[in-house]
Structure 1
Amino acid sequence: MTFARMSESLVILSQFDPRRLELLPRPMLLNIPTEIQEVIILDAAIVSPASIASLSATCSLLRTLINIPLDGHLWRSIFLAFFDDPRQALSLESNTPVDKVVFNWQREAQRRFRAKFRLEQSHTAEIEEFEDIVDEDAVNALMETAINALPGQALNVSSKNETYVTECMRGVILSPPTTQSSAKLRVLAALVDARTSASLPILPLASASSRLPSRAYVYNMRNYNERNKWGPWLPFKDGSKDGEINYIHLWHIIDVLRHNAHERNNCDLPIDGIGGLRALSMPKQDLHVEKEEDTAKTKYNDWAGVEGVWMRTVSFMDYRDLHAYNWSNFDTEGGEGQLSTAVFEHENFAEAFRVIRAYFTVVRVEETGPPGYPHRPTIHFVGDTAIPNYPHDVSMHRITEGTVSMTEAGQVRWSFNTRVGGHEWSSEGVQLGRVQSRAGVVGIWSSADHEEHDPAGPFWLWKCGESTKRPSKFPGPFHYLIIHHDQ
């Protein structure tokens, strides 16, 4: 029997009752070299990952070989047949050499296979059963698959992870974003290049009803306080790590902004597949500086890729509508203190949507980062922002000053203030995916004073794919701020 025929026979037989393999002469199985057995298992896995479990049930020899391997090379081969090598992304995250990264190939492959199987099961289930089927571990496995794809240096190489997650998500009908797990899956669905129940409607005008819950959440001023840093963060609790993302809040921010951009068709948000979550996937820019040593990359440890040109979108409600929604309009049928969403359903309701251009310059980087991330110290930056149509009008420019840092939970946090006239606005954002991701930063702007009736709204910040000149000689407040910090 040839090797190919042997492999084909075992795969076919493994799809039936394992006891049928007892018909094979036992010496035949025992005499196959281990290397050939592993190749057969790998071939079976490529045909269908479920074949691995079937093969392990055929006899104790294969069960031991599959479930209790002497080393990780079999499961490493199976894993890499489906996914990108995660050690490159994890090496970048931990600042550990690739060959020193510890990764459990068997466990992580099984988690990802299970996640796909669970999503396939959900197609025929009731929506109320969705979260019981696609549980938290399945969602986390999918998100980890997305963010641990090959880093951006390998963008010219197709990502197995992106293909796998896209196929997993295609056609999925998602449950409402009432838990962190369900909201995290919706964030992934908003970015993936596949139609799901969370995809934008083809006709922009059809989006009014679908985004009402997100508007109601984002513009509810009760969702902003010191405990969540006035942004999409979970309040710190004993036993948890500070700086965990509130995925429910994050989903609603993304949902509001993507609908606003979609109906106006005047802004290309960085929603072009989950490849945008990959580390170092943000566009590279030629800053045209006079001296190479003046760039943040060489002068400072700009690990977050702060320096350069960015685009920022912000949305906000008319203050009269915001006040009516938050402080003078309660739903008598919805329970005590329940806000009425009637204001969003009025035919004249509209949000403002602004596209702003920004240039950020790194001015200082602290000596070391927090525990776990000493290679990522806090970055201090200043910026000049302007409405794109008025790049040379000094009155239209705004001063921005802020930091990029790592949270205890391992998230990249952006915090910055922008002065507009005599008022100061603060922004709190989280980097989507890994460091320097093309998907950018999503968060909330609010008044820096955080008074009781002050407004707030969503923003999205991402790096442009273009070259530019450093505006260090700009004859306005930005130039003064640069000089001030350099002294």
Structure 2
Amino acid sequence: MTSHSILALPPELVENILISTAAGGFPQAIASFAQTCKVHYALIYHTTDNHLWREIFLTTFDDPRASGGGPGWGQCMSSHSQARLEETFDWSGEFKRRVWAAGYIRWQSDPVAKDAVDPVTDLEQTLRNTCAFDTILSVMRSAMPCPPTLVFSFLDCPDAGPNLKINTSSSYPTFPPLPQAIGTPNPMDTHGRVFGQSLRASNTAWLESVLEKGLPLEITAMFSGDRWAGGLVGQFLSDPELREVQAAAHIIACTGFIPAPQPDPSPTSPTDREHSPPVMIGISPARPSGSRASSWSSGSTVQGPPAGSYMTLENQLKRARRLARMRVYNMRYLARNRHWGPFLPFSDGRRAADAVADDDELLQPILALFRVTPNSDLAHTHDDGDEEVVERGWLGGEEEEEDEEEEGSVLAESASRDDAPEEVLSSAQLYADWAYLAAVRVVVEANLRESFQVNDLRGLFSLDGLRRGSAPYDWTAYRPPSPVETKDEKGKGRIADDDTAEVEGWDWAGVTGVWKRCICWLDYRDLILHNLSGEFEDPHLQEAVRIISMRLRIKSYSKSEIPEYAHLPTIHFVGETTGATIHGQPRSLHGTVSVIADGSVRWVLYSSVEGGEMDEWLSEGVQVGGVASAMGVLGLWTGAQHERMDPLGPCWSWKVG
């Protein structure tokens, strides 16, 4: 009788088995199979080309060669650069990193599994977290772009809360339509597939599975604790800790804050305790020791998360919102070397010193206008139905007239506090401050959830909204010139040396169209008093919230400040608010869209006084996800003139048509 051996199988058949194993969700079996003999090890790890690992990779993830960089990117990429990507992309290494990151995140976010891991140093834990977070972000960035030619019926959202004023047009929805269509069951298409599922990106499905229980427990505790670790603006963090926090915050800005799961009260079986953490590329996850471990398990008499109500989902969300408010409404955050926006003031690869204004220096001139001392106990009162807008510096009625002279003297005194000019960084030196942007996401999302039904918000919160081109956009309407050239030098393929010179360009960011913009702000007295105390403990504290329609269009293009992104010129746009605004008068809008040092897309938006042309407000934001993403732009708003008394608050803009 002839004996049969797997070694007798053709290599092509063995490769197909391995590919099917990965497609079935058992990628670790490939490594186990490689250990059976030298022949199998050589077949898997000593191949002469990338065909096997490329096919294994594509069973689970989108093709990175098709991810592109947004509208028009393909026309800017030559066939040589595409071939270079094929040669340089590490199919094997990237697949292993992603499999390891998935196992690591799942293990570290499991309250029970973490107890079975050997402790490591804080630094090693920080580096492992950062590696996993960077891998997650790379999966987000390389997701397949959305198809550009889909048309949907626009339906209004009838379930807005009574306290939320929405200035909408009946022709457009309140929230992005495409991701909602992807995530909602629809009739079968002509190929027998469910329409929504046919548009899903493999990367998105993988991300939803990996992040189902959120981030590692100590990271979740950091963003839902009683204080910000490392200071309100991260000024006390070491460089490795800063990178870890920024990477984690970047994920939270994309997904929202996901509370830590509640532990299973049933006793854990010995078999579960014997399970080993994932091991990949020489890294194994472990439970943090020392201070990082205590951030999760302090106050508990047993291993695992603390008992009681502290870690309920509701309380985690409340604490996360409070911490986010502390950061979002921090008036000391505004600075010239941040461009008055959500940016880290980097210079020459090093973090610039964060200049935090002294409390007395910043707040005393403002408190004097209210006749409030730092130690005064001014009770906070709210009328839930009161949505009056408190303008900056406005006291109202006769009190304003009586204090007019006093205000002038106080402002004159405060304006002279520092005559030394500050260094102003260019856009090419700016890096997005994802810790601040994550706080913006938490605050605005909490306000929206209080005003809308969950189903109405799916279009905005869907992870498919991170994909490039997921906002309403017709990519075929805009073709980039080849090469990008100035109008004066048209046909010569050159770009002028003057950065302000007008050049040929195209709407690579999907600017043109109808947008919704959600802005939140505090009563000005609340803003000052909570900045003074720094606690934001008032359970009755509530922001005013408005969603306003905008219509934007391209005005011109100028040269990008970053040579690596010369194919993505700075976009200059104009527009106006549409429909009835808060006071019934439209505002003129203008701004720019450009790329900053870390590759993030920066949005600058100025809005005029009502019915006039003078700039009154400024919004600085960063695109979340890929360019032309449905999730839109997170940022902050403040006064356009950057005066000492300017308020600030979070804003979130997204495109609907």
TM-score range, shorter chain: 0.7 to 0.9
Question: Quick check: 1:433 aligned with 2:625?
Answer: yes
* Alpha carbons of structure 1 residues 324 and 224: separation in structure 2 relative to 1, 3 Å: same
In 1, Cα distance between equivalents of 2:114 and 2:126: 10
Match for residue 151 of structure 1?
Answer: 145
Match for residue 172 of structure 1?
Answer: 214
Paired amino acid for 1:407: I
Match for residue 60 of structure 1?
Answer: 38
Match for residue 656 of structure 2?
Answer: 464
Does structure 1 conserve the Cα–Cα contact (< 8 Å) formed by 2:521 and 2:544? yes
Question: Quick check: 1:353 aligned with 2:545?
Answer: yes
In 1, Cα distance between equivalents of 2:69 and 2:538: 51
Paired amino acid for 1:325: H
Paired amino acid for 2:250: K
Q: Per the alignment, in what secondary structure is the counterpart of residue 607 of structure 2?
A: strand
Paired amino acid for 1:49: P
Does structure 2 conserve the Cα–Cα contact (< 8 Å) formed by 1:233 and 1:245? yes
Paired amino acid for 1:58: T
In 1, Cα distance between equivalents of 2:530 and 2:335: 18
* Alpha carbons of structure 1 residues 41 and 453: separation in structure 2 relative to 1, 3 Å: same
Q: CA RMSD in A?
A: 3.5
Q: Per the alignment, in what secondary structure is the counterpart of residue 646 of structure 2?
A: coil
* Alpha carbons of structure 1 residues 114 and 320: separation in structure 2 relative to 1, 3 Å: same
Paired amino acid for 2:147: Q
In 2, Cα distance between equivalents of 1:304 and 1:262: 28
Does structure 2 conserve the Cα–Cα contact (< 8 Å) formed by 1:296 and 1:362? no
Question: Quick check: 1:142 aligned with 2:136?
Answer: yes
In 2, Cα distance between equivalents of 1:91 and 1:187: 20
Match for residue 237 of structure 1?
Answer: 347
After the TM superposition, which residues 84-483 of structure 1 pair with which residues of structure 2 at under 5 Å, given as runs?
A: 84-90=62-68, 92=70, 95-97=76-78, 99-100=82-83, 101-102=85-86, 103-122=89-108, 123=110, 124-125=113-114, 135-153=129-147, 156-172=198-214, 174=217, 175=219, 176-177=222-223, 179-190=245-256, 196-197=259-260, 208-239=318-349, 242-265=429-452, 268=457, 270-284=459-473, 301-326=506-531, 329-330=532-533, 339=534, 341=535, 344-366=536-558, 370-386=562-578, 388-389=579-580, 395-421=584-610, 424-465=616-657
Deviation at 1:203, TM superposition (A): 10
Paired amino acid for 1:75: W
* Number of equivalences: 415
Match for residue 44 of structure 1?
Answer: 21
Q: Per the alignment, in what secondary structure is the counterpart of residue 444 of structure 1?
A: strand
In 2, Cα distance between equivalents of 1:198 and 1:230: 37
Task: Choose between structure 1 and 2 for higher RCO, CA contacts under 8 A separated by at least 6 residues.
Answer: 2
Deviation at 1:132, TM superposition (A): 5.0
TM-score, normalised with respect to structure 1? 0.76
Paired amino acid for 1:283: P
In 1, Cα distance between equivalents of 2:316 and 2:648: 26
Report Cα offsets for 1:45-83 as digits up to 9, x if no partner. 334111121122222222222223211100000001011
Q: Per the alignment, in what secondary structure is the counterpart of residue 152 of structure 1?
A: coil
In 1, Cα distance between equivalents of 2:470 and 2:66: 14
State which of 12, 17, 25 in structure 2 corresponds to 1:35: 12
In 2, Cα distance between equivalents of 1:239 and 1:163: 35
In 1, Cα distance between equivalents of 2:554 and 2:530: 39
Q: Per the alignment, in what secondary structure is the counterpart of residue 213 of structure 2?
A: coil
**Percent sequence identity over aligned pairs:** 32
In 2, Cα distance between equivalents of 1:313 and 1:438: 14
Paired amino acid for 1:449: Q
In 2, Cα distance between equivalents of 1:319 and 1:369: 37
* Alpha carbons of structure 1 residues 53 and 366: separation in structure 2 relative to 1, 3 Å: same
Q: Per the alignment, in what secondary structure is the counterpart of residue 400 of structure 1?
A: strand
In 2, Cα distance between equivalents of 1:420 and 1:202: 45
Does structure 2 conserve the Cα–Cα contact (< 8 Å) formed by 1:119 and 1:134? no
Paired amino acid for 1:322: L
Deviation at 1:433, TM superposition (A): 0.8
Paired amino acid for 1:261: L
In 2, Cα distance between equivalents of 1:320 and 1:138: 42
In 1, Cα distance between equivalents of 2:214 and 2:541: 31
- Which range moves more in the overlay, 250-259 or 154-163? 154-163
Deviation at 1:86, TM superposition (A): 1.5
Report Cα offsets for 1:321-345 as digits up to 9, x if no partner. 111122xx34xxxxxxxx3x1xx33
In 1, Cα distance between equivalents of 2:100 and 2:458: 32
Does structure 1 conserve the Cα–Cα contact (< 8 Å) formed by 2:133 and 2:251? yes
- Which range moves more in the overlay, 92-101 or 53-62? 92-101
Report Cα offsets for 1:299-323 as digits up to 9, x if no partner. 9511111111100000111111111
Does structure 2 conserve the Cα–Cα contact (< 8 Å) formed by 1:300 and 1:362? no
Q: Per the alignment, in what secondary structure is the counterpart of residue 606 of structure 2?
A: strand
In 1, Cα distance between equivalents of 2:548 and 2:321: 23
Q: Per the alignment, in what secondary structure is the counterpart of residue 211 of structure 1?
A: helix
- Which range moves more in the overlay, 201-210 or 377-386? 201-210
* Alpha carbons of structure 1 residues 323 and 270: separation in structure 2 relative to 1, 3 Å: farther
Paired amino acid for 1:96: M
Deviation at 1:389, TM superposition (A): 4.2
Deviation at 1:164, TM superposition (A): 0.7
Paired amino acid for 1:167: S
Match for residue 478 of structure 1?
Answer: none
* Alpha carbons of structure 1 residues 230 and 457: separation in structure 2 relative to 1, 3 Å: same
* Alpha carbons of structure 1 residues 280 and 202: separation in structure 2 relative to 1, 3 Å: farther
Paired amino acid for 1:456: L
Paired amino acid for 1:43: S
Higher relative helix content: 1
Q: Per the alignment, in what secondary structure is the counterpart of residue 214 of structure 1?
A: helix
Paired amino acid for 1:211: R
Paired amino acid for 2:249: A
In 2, Cα distance between equivalents of 1:357 and 1:184: 27
Does structure 2 conserve the Cα–Cα contact (< 8 Å) formed by 1:310 and 1:358? yes
Does structure 2 conserve the Cα–Cα contact (< 8 Å) formed by 1:205 and 1:263? no
* Alpha carbons of structure 1 residues 56 and 132: separation in structure 2 relative to 1, 3 Å: farther
Deviation at 1:390, TM superposition (A): 5.1
Does structure 1 conserve the Cα–Cα contact (< 8 Å) formed by 2:213 and 2:261? no
Report Cα offsets for 1:419-469 as digits up to 9, x if no partner. 12566211111011111011101101111222233111111011014xxxx
In 1, Cα distance between equivalents of 2:10 and 2:632: 50
TM-score, normalised with respect to structure 2? 0.57
Paired amino acid for 1:152: C
* Alpha carbons of structure 1 residues 347 and 142: separation in structure 2 relative to 1, 3 Å: closer
In 1, Cα distance between equivalents of 2:620 and 2:347: 20
- Which range moves more in the overlay, 299-308 or 106-115? 299-308
* Alpha carbons of structure 1 residues 198 and 381: separation in structure 2 relative to 1, 3 Å: farther
In 2, Cα distance between equivalents of 1:379 and 1:312: 19
Paired amino acid for 1:166: E
In 1, Cα distance between equivalents of 2:575 and 2:622: 18
- Which range moves more in the overlay, 161-170 or 179-188? 179-188
Q: Per the alignment, in what secondary structure is the counterpart of residue 67 of structure 2?
A: helix
